[in-house]
Structure 1
Amino acid sequence: MTLRIAVTGATSDFARAILPGLLDDDDVESVVGIARRRTPLVHPKLQSVRSDIRSPEMEHIFRGCDVVVHLAFVVEELRDKRTTHDINQRGSRNVLDSAYRAGVRRMVIASSINAYGPDIHDEPLTEKDYPAGDPDRYYFHDKAEVEHYAEWWLRRHPGEMAVSMLRPTYIIGPDFSNDGIDQFTSTIGAFPQADRASYQFLHQHDLADAFHRAVKQDLDGPYNVGPRDWTGVRELAAMQGQKLFDVPERAAVVAANIAFRLGLTPFSGQWVTAGEPVVDSTALHTATGWSPTLTSRECAAIMILLQGRPILLPEYALERDAACEAALAPASAVVGVAAGEHVQLRTPDGSVHCELHRGGGRRTIVLPARPGSHARYCTPLAVELRERGYDVVAVDPPGHGLSTGPRGRVDQAQFDRAVTEAVEYARRTFGGPISIVVDEGSRSPSPDDPLVPKRVRGRVSVATYISARTIDDVIAHIGPAGAATSQAASSAPQTIRG
């Protein structure tokens, strides 16, 4: 099976999440990326076409394509709602009709759970619940209207072209940045019905997986796309120490409308809601086998961390490997490697994140990251050491990386307690002699990495630990991984002064 796929809205955040997986698929021959601007992504399979989805040339662009993925939609609020509705509704109708006339076999439309409307419900909604939208909220209304047209079209053309509508919950990830995420992670939050308001946060990798599956099989009708759990806004506030206020919805809408008219905020009262409806995504799992790899709670923590905000409470620290790697993705792209297992160690100061590399040798090395950095920048050295047979435990200082605590705040006592806890964990896990080594040759942290604190508060010295720039420096200090050691050497960590 070889597929030629057309993707509208190819410069959107959705496209940034979805396109890489399609382009890496051997079953995909080529992708036509359609947007009003040229797509910045460069790939030998990708052809960039500049066009408006309302244009009659859509039919010509779609000819020869097997699948159309429709992502183009006005999300960021425009003052001109007539233009907004024209792009969203007439443009979407044109995409569907043009795809059919061009002989496309399958179409996947990016809808939203906002098509259900803004009301909170006591039970999770399923595809059997009607997408009522909300005529007073342009985004909710337009998503519902596009679905209504697609459903009408399917009844008029049974079996002629598969048309599915995927309804994602709230998307987070390194490619997603918007006013909503800024509000979720601000130091002060305000929500109507704060005791009831909740969201289902979904990682962009899980979103991309859902679209990828829909592209490769015939599906008709709507499908919810969300995690099994949900996160209340009060819990979200507790995770990061946000001050949260419960505000009357009507007053909040009026205030947002005034601020929008005055140009003080990028959104009006049309976006002020008491959370979002919770949905059940069983239908998509049954049809395609799709399941989310991350929970809403994990995604909430990732969102907070990717915004440079702290996770303050140990119970919210990321633990599962998949969640940790999702949060570390920007740093992994910088160092060029993603490896290791992840553990969280409880200390009097909170939770300390460690990255484990099992080399199966008789020596263990604890690699504490310097303040101002985090353990992922030690991963290249850790991988080299593992390949030489060393067991390695890389450590995030408190307030850094995936460890809890105010961002960048760590003093000598906190740092030493974190290292001591990592040494004790290494002794319990691996046994044998343990050496503490500071990686002086690691890559400088990227200023664009949100897990690197903008400022380090506190003075920490690492002069009591071994200092090394290369793996040869490490071996010169502590010897090869399989070397025999005395009982005395194995009873305490080596803290040779550099």
Structure 2
Amino acid sequence: MRIAVIGATGNVGTAVLRHLSTRPEVDSVLGIARRLPDTDAAPYAEAQWQRADIQYPEVVPDLAKALSGCDAVIHLAWLIQPNTQRSVLRRVNVNGTRHVLDAAAQAGVRHAVVASSVGVYSPAEDDVAHDEQWPTEGIPGSHYSEDKVAQERVMDEFLAEHPDFTLARLRPGLVFQRAAGSEIQRYFAGQMAPVQLLQLLRPPVVPVPGGIRTQAVHADDLAAAYAQAAILGAEGAFNICADDLLDGDAITKVVSGDKTSGLKLPLPGAALRPLIKAAHRARILPTDEGWLDMGLHVPVMDSSRAKKELQWAPAYSGAQALEELVEGMAAGVGAASVPLRPRNLDESERPELPGAEHEIGEEVDALLLRQYMADHLAGATAGTNRIKRMAADYVDTPVFPEISEVAEAIRRERGFLVKLIQRQGFPTSPASTTIAWMGERVGRLKPNGRLPGGRSPSTLVVEAEMMITAVTGKLHGWKVMRDHADALGVDPQVFEGLILDAENQREQLESVHEYARHRAFRKDRRTFEKTR
């Protein structure tokens, strides 16, 4: 059996790949994502890969070609952020689902499993477990819920047009695993949240929204449900959750690390909501107030149907899944994909270096080489900041996947360079990197023919050119270090790999430049939308 997994690099997608590799019924897996992972790392190495951006209707023919020969499609792709780009979220999450289903039908696939959510359900104010017949009008005030409802309507319309197609929709609670710690921190708490302190001390008092009650499922348990639904050809809606309820007391016990005496500090939802709203509008908190509304009003789910028809049972409780998440957030762990990238640069270092410190031999001028590497680190710092900002600025464009992949590669390589410098016994001077950081930000002040706060079409052209230049310089830096690999105590093949990576990055940036330059100076074409 050949199964395609769309959105195969995120929290759930990674777990699904991991699980499918253990199923004897599955002969091969096709992973599909906007931004490809490290395909040499587990579990991504077990799949074949195809890049696709599902938000645009133009993807359908190529996606259908990729899906040809598949027996089932598991569709997981869903954007959580950026909240401020509602049109992007709608295009990917709602329109993208229609594009995936259309492509599957064109490819001759007759079965799909789609990721829905508890958020699709209408509010319930009781602790009675509700089955899949509960109304699906969503939670007022939550854009996530609103889009999940719209997605289910798209599925309904598609099935009405394709009566020979079978479709299962899984409605899980919150999905946790250790490897998602950094991702969930970025999406909901923010990068500046000091969650790493949880490694040293768990809070004795835990503030929680009063009246909160929700359910969770471990990503591995949810992955097993997706696999079962795909293999069995299941049809209809299935609630997927652990058997326990995460109320204020349960959350307090997990977060405090004390199963008996952790103190809960209830915060009234009516008072907390405007605070979350203000923090989100001020860009202090990535989470908007709609997530609080969901936590307070979604129904308790009954997962009996999944247990009976899918022969599914959770191996983890919701509390155990939450504990894994807390540990993962504290440690800043992740996986070898862009969505699941670890919090710290050093955590994502590829390739790895030998652990022992290495001194440069007398045949090489260590002082000159030290300064050379420090200069490249300054450039890498500026480049990392610039490409990270570009990815944020152009998240709504068709070239975002290429920019984002380059951003992650440059981020990893900077971490490698820091480790390499430190391994030679060199300090990493903050002065040059700070100057480079400031220079990169001053460069952003150019108006490029637009008022401040606007977005000039020519800016993407200029920024792509600057990054191409920076990557070219980096490529030659790796060549210099390759020539002195023995002195640095590194296998020359390590630098050969980095040179090849830089060439690939330059090709991706060239494609960004080609896209932008053909549109930026034309009045009849739009740079930031996929037109002509």
TM-score normalised according to structure 2 size: 0.53
Name 2:8's counterpart in structure 1: 10
1:226 paired to 2:244: no
Distance 1:83 1:301 in 2: 32
Name 1:206's counterpart in structure 2: 221
Contact 2:81/2:89 (<8 A) preserved? no
> Which amino acid in 1 is paired with 2:156?
E
Deviation, 1:238, is: 3.5
Q: Deviations over 1:113-170 (max 9, x none)?
A: 1111454333112111121113531111111211122133324433x12100011111
Name 1:251's counterpart in structure 2: 271
1:278 paired to 2:300: yes
Q: Deviations over 1:165-200 (max 9, x none)?
A: 0111112212222148869988465444x2x32222
Distance 1:263 1:240 in 2: 25
Q: Greater CA deviation, 66-75 or 248-257? A: 248-257
Alpha carbons of 1:135 and 1:239: their partners in 2 closer, same or farther (altered >3 Å)? closer
Matches within 5 A, 1:42-61: 42=40, 45-54=46-55, 55-56=59-60, 57-61=62-66
Name 2:133's counterpart in structure 1: 128
Q: Deviations over 1:467-496 (max 9, x none)?
A: xxxxxxxxxxxxxxxxxxxxxxxxxxxxxx
Name 1:137's counterpart in structure 2: 142
Deviation, 1:39, is: 2.2
> Which amino acid in 2 is paired with 1:251?
A
Give the secondary structure class of the aligned counterpart of 1:104.
coil
Distance 1:302 1:181 in 2: 16
Name 1:463's counterpart in structure 2: none
Name 2:151's counterpart in structure 1: 146
Matches within 5 A, 1:450-489: none
Distance 1:117 1:253 in 2: 19
Deviation, 1:59, is: 1.9
Q: Greater CA deviation, 131-140 or 3-12? A: 131-140
Distance 1:24 1:15 in 2: 15
Distance 2:255 2:24 in 1: 42
Name 1:451's counterpart in structure 2: none
1:263 paired to 2:283: yes
Distance 2:64 2:125 in 1: 40
Matches within 5 A, 1:99-138: 99-117=104-122, 119-134=124-139, 136-138=141-143
Give the secondary structure class of the aligned counterpart of 1:31.
strand
**Per residue, is there more helix in 1 or in 2?**
2
1:27 paired to 2:25: yes
Name 1:69's counterpart in structure 2: 74
Alpha carbons of 1:244 and 1:201: their partners in 2 closer, same or farther (altered >3 Å)? same
Of structures 1 and 2, the one scoring higher in RCO (CA 8 A, sep 6+) is 2
Give the secondary structure class of the aligned counterpart of 1:266.
coil
Contact 1:172/1:303 (<8 A) preserved? yes
Distance 2:141 2:282 in 1: 20
Contact 1:29/1:45 (<8 A) preserved? no
> Which amino acid in 2 is paired with 1:232?
D
Give the secondary structure class of the aligned counterpart of 2:302.
coil
Distance 1:73 1:199 in 2: 21
Question: Which of 237, 250, 260 is the equivalent residue of 2:252?
Answer: 237
Distance 1:243 1:77 in 2: 34
> Which amino acid in 2 is paired with 1:200?
Q
Name 1:217's counterpart in structure 2: 232
Give the secondary structure class of the aligned counterpart of 1:235.
helix
> Which amino acid in 2 is paired with 1:15?
G
Question: Which of 79, 83, 97 is the equivalent residue of 1:78?
Answer: 83
Q: Deviations over 1:276-310 (max 9, x none)?
A: 4210111111112111122223334444444559x
Question: Which of 305, 309, 314 is the equivalent residue of 1:292?
Answer: 314
Distance 2:188 2:34 in 1: 25
Distance 2:323 2:48 in 1: 36
Distance 1:238 1:262 in 2: 31
Distance 2:330 2:32 in 1: 33
Q: Tell me the C-alpha RMSD between the 2 structures.
A: 2.6
1:197 paired to 2:212: yes
Give the secondary structure class of the aligned counterpart of 2:128.
coil
Deviation, 1:6, is: 1.4
> Which amino acid in 1 is paired with 2:127?
D
Alpha carbons of 1:84 and 1:189: their partners in 2 closer, same or farther (altered >3 Å)? farther
Distance 1:230 1:161 in 2: 35
Identity of aligned residues (%): 27
Contact 1:107/1:163 (<8 A) preserved? yes
Deviation, 1:249, is: 2.6
Distance 2:302 2:35 in 1: 36
Q: Deviations over 1:205-227 (max 9, x none)?
A: 21111111111011111100012
Name 2:177's counterpart in structure 1: 173
Deviation, 1:245, is: 3.2
Contact 1:70/1:95 (<8 A) preserved? yes
Q: Deviations over 1:206-265 (max 9, x none)?
A: 111111111101111110001222121223214443654333334322222221121111
Query: Mind listing any 5+ residue stretches in structure 1 that lack a counterpart?
Result: 310-498
Contact 2:19/2:220 (<8 A) preserved? no
Q: Greater CA deviation, 50-59 or 204-213? A: 50-59
Could you list the runs of 4 or more consecutive aligned residues of structure 1 that deviate by over 6 angstroms after TM superposition? 183-186
Give the secondary structure class of the aligned counterpart of 2:171.
strand
Alpha carbons of 1:7 and 1:291: their partners in 2 closer, same or farther (altered >3 Å)? same
Alpha carbons of 1:119 and 1:145: their partners in 2 closer, same or farther (altered >3 Å)? same
Distance 1:240 1:105 in 2: 44
Alpha carbons of 1:308 and 1:90: their partners in 2 closer, same or farther (altered >3 Å)? closer
Contact 1:231/1:300 (<8 A) preserved? no
> Which amino acid in 2 is paired with 1:218?
G
Distance 1:79 1:135 in 2: 18
Matches within 5 A, 1:308-387: 308=330
Distance 2:92 2:148 in 1: 12
Give the secondary structure class of the aligned counterpart of 2:103.
helix
Give the secondary structure class of the aligned counterpart of 1:207.
helix
Paired residues in the alignment total 304
> Which amino acid in 1 is paired with 2:64?
E
